[in-house]
């Protein structure tokens, strides 16, 4: 969502990076560029004025104090102000001293309240609570059924005594849902309420009645981050009508300009507590203003990435893997497959890669990332026998042909995967011994991003310096056979289609071991 804003702001810093001193003209030019970027991102005008005024004043004070690195000082000032307008320090949910904690969701229709109720319920369950979802949206068609489906996916029970579709009293459902939670000793209750296509008196009154009936500890306003400045006006109307204690940003993975997300905390005075970043029940996270500001300034969000990894990775398996990479054992394709599956538990690999620092400079390659290539890699490894995964050296020509048929790929793609796997294993062992990677040049041995390339094919043609001219075949039968064998094994030297970075040439259907050569020449071919 913040891609364009991030590009504009980081570009504005280019003229001040590396300068020993900053003049007031440098500061004014940078602040003016940031101001235009914020306005084009649909940030509220009062917020933009306050932001730019604070940045300009602090930057001029830094120049007057003759800071050692004024360029970095300016970036720090912008980062601190971004954190401020995004809501400052994150706070936790207000929990009841005597359970259950009641959380009421409010917002317009289409903002994603029902789906978010399931996501919040799942998040509460992961935090050690026993949540209950209450279906008090009886107005929207199939809202009750949708909440039941979402609750089932999230593993959270749903209280739905009324069928909905205009039938039933939503206030009574909320009241009986709270009573049921108290009786069954649930520790948290999430009340899903009805929305409308716009703010109206009937909608406000129903939300007020539900609020008075259950006396919630938190009222979360679900804000669609894609509807621009109108979202801020709606938030103000809810604040003045029903009142709310926190904001949840939904559809933060969209392609809108993101102005509402940057404006709502400052305009309403209430913090953003959570963010919904996708359609799955797992695409839900705490909102941290400092981490979001870091993403906007292309400094990454490594802390969130680590938290997701801690949830997805098994500690014992991770320790065993670290030992193998350090040389205590052999890192096999079976280990590689297990790590690939755990990576996929973390969610979209494109999203994870986007959290790394400096990825804004690779935005085009990241956008063209084809996650289907990961499926192809997994299919290749799964088509191998346990012995082949443990000892890839036994993969001769006929075995590779069998794996290619089983995985729906080509021998060239398998050659590419094996070559990259060997290089990656070597590089990761070096990293394990040296204490970590020395730069951000991509995954070692993987040749950049897996799946990157043209959107039409999910692959990218190799650069000119990597293209090799095709040599003529030798007239010597033994030498020609040797050339063909080397060509089959050298397929991995081209940017490999196994990770989507090259358009592979089709390998010949005949395996190397089946080539017919004159008698007595087998020893030259290593048979």
**Which residues define the annotated binding site?**
107-114, 192-196, 250-253
Phi, psi (deg, nearest 5) at residue 28: -60, -40
Q: d(Cα 214, Cα 218) in Å, to the nearest integer? A: 11
Alpha carbons 458 and 501: distance in angstroms, whole number:
8
CA dist 510 → 39, 397, 417, 506 (Å)? 62, 8, 20, 12
Judging by DSSP bridges, how do beta strands 246-250 and 272-276 pair with one another? parallel
Cβ neighbourhood burial of 306 (10 Å; 0-12, 13-18, 19+): exposed
Supply the DSSP symbol for 512.
Answer: G
Distances (CA, A) of 377 to 7, 397, 409: 32, 19, 9
In b/e form, how buried is each residue of 169-184, taking b as 16+ CB within 10 angstroms?
ebbebbbbbbebbeee
* Calpha distance 486→294 (Å, rounded): 48
Q: Tokens 């559809």 sit at which residue?
A: 251
Annotated binding site for GTP: 107-114, 192-196, 250-253
Q: Report H helices in 65-112.
A: 70-85
CA separation for the pair 399, 439 (Å, rounded): 37
Residue that the structure tokens 């209450």 belong to: 134
């Amino acid at each position: 969502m913040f891609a364009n804003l991030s590009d504009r702001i980081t570009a504005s810093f280019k003229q001040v990076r590396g300068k020993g001193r900053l003049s007031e003209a440098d500061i004014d030019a940078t602040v003016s560029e940031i101001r235009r970027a914020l306005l084009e991102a649909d940030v509220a005008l009062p917020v933009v004025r306050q932001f730019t005024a604070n940045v300009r004043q602090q930057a001029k004070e830094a120049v007057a104090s003759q800071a050692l690195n004024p360029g970095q000082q300016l970036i720090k000032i912008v980062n601190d102000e971004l954190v401020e307008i995004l809501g400052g320090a994150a706070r936790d949910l207000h929990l009841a001293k005597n359970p259950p904690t009641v959380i009421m969701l409010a917002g317009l229709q289409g903002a994603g309240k029902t789906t978010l109720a399931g996501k919040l319920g799942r998040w509460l369950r992961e935090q050690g609570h026993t949540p209950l979802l209450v279906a008090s949206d009886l107005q929207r068609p199939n809202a009750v059924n949708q909440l039941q489906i979402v609750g089932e996916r999230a593993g959270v029970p749903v209280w739905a005594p009324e069928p909905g579709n205009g039938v039933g009293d939503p206030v009574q459902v909320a009241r009986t849902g709270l009573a049921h939670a108290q009786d069954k000793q649930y520790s948290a209750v999430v009340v899903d309420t009805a929305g409308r296509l716009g703010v109206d008196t009937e909608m406000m009154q129903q939300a007020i009645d539900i609020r008075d009936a259950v006396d919630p500890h938190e009222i979360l306003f679900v804000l669609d981050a894609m509807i621009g400045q109108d979202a801020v006006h709606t938030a103000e109307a809810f604040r003045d009508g029903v009142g709310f204690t926190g904001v949840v940003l939904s559809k933060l993975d969209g392609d809108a300009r993101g102005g509402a997300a940057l404006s709502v905390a400052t305009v309403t005075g209430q913090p953003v507590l959570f963010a919904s970043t996708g359609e799955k029940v797992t695409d839900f996270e705490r909102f941290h203003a400092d981490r979001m500001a870091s993403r906007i300034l292309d400094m990454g969000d490594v802390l969130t990435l680590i938290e997701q990894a801690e949830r997805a990775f098994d500690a014992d398996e991770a320790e065993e893997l670290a030992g193998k990479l350090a040389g205590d054992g052999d890192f096999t394709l079976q280990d590689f497959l297990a790590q690939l599956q755990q990576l996929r538990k973390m969610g979209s690999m494109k999203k994870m890669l986007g959290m790394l620092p400096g990825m804004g400079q690779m935005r085009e390659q990241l956008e063209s990332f084809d996650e289907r290539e990961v499926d192809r890699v997994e299919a290749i490894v799964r088509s191998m026998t346990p012995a082949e995964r443990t000892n890839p050296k036994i993969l001769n020509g006929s075995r590779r042909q069998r794996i290619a048929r089983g995985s729906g790929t080509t021998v060239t793609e398998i050659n590419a995967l094996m070559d990259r796997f060997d290089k990656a294993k070597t590089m990761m062992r070096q990293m394990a011994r040296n204490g970590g990677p020395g730069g951000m040049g991509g995954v070692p041995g993987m040749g950049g991003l897996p799946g990157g390339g043209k959107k039409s094919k999910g692959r990218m043609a190799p650069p000119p310096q990597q293209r090799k001219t095709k040599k003529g075949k030798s007239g010597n039968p033994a030498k020609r056979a040797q050339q063909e064998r080397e060509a089959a094994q050298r397929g991995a030297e081209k940017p490999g289609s196994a990770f989507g970075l090259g358009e592979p040439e089709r390998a010949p259907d005949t395996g190397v071991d089946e080539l017919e050569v004159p008698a007595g020449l087998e020893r030259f071919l290593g048979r």
